[in-house]
Structure 1
Amino acid sequence: MLTPVDDGPAVVACNTCRLSADLREDDQSQRGGARLLAALRAVQQGDARYAGIAVQEMACLFACKDHCTVHLRAPGKVGYVLGRFDADEAAATAILDYAAAYAQSEHGRVPFKEWPQGVKGHFISRTPPAGFVAA
């Protein structure tokens, strides 16, 4: 049930997420999670700043109320679940911009003034790294 992946900084995208709060799929029967995943990969490949951020996928992050969700994680850092994104290049760029700042941070905390506008209002939860709790 578990698939090993690289243990570095990663954006794990739910590939089965709804397209929006109202729609499961687009007019070509593609789910929002699959579209967001494709956008993340396209943006990542087009910009060397994101080379150190893995884009990984899994089915269902159990955040179904909040469509187009991703989990941001890295060893020894607080993780974050974000959602309610449009499945497009602008959202993918904002997510990867935040992920780059996150990867450079000491414990996963990025100062609010450094957050891309496109991630503000999209945080669902934060998760402590194994063996720690966050203050």
Structure 2
Amino acid sequence: MGVPPKTEDFVKEAATSDMFEIASSKLAVERGDDATKAFAQQMVTDHQKTTDELKALVSGGKVKATLPNAMTSDQQSMLDKLNGLQGTTSTSNIIRTRKPPMKTPSISSSAMANPELKAWAASTRPALEHHLEMAKELNK
């Protein structure tokens, strides 16, 4: 199972993942075909919810971590690539073929140190699994 992520690392990864998912999905809402737009809007809604919940845990002092102000350079590069694509088909194909991240492999780890963060991570799993199923359906 490996070593559980440090709270700070997990928060950073979860927060930057949400940032990327929201930004790339908003782009897909603007440029995608109808099926992609529906998927992307669900992604925006769900990831905004998890962002708000994570911010509340940190600002409320239940999780000791610093929230990042920006996504990672790799995520920004992918977003820049998506922004540079022209046309509905190109954007829809990129959004459809990339798999939604499952945050981290240890998201449901019973060894996660912070109980509040552990509970939050467990509560996000069903939505993340649903995103994966939605993405698979788009690719049929």
Which TM-score tier does this pair reach, normalised by the shorter chain? 0.3 to 0.5
Whichever of the two has the greater Rg, that structure is 2
Q: Whose RCO is larger (CA < 8 A, sep 6+)?
A: 2
**Higher share in strand:** 1
**Higher share in helix:** 2
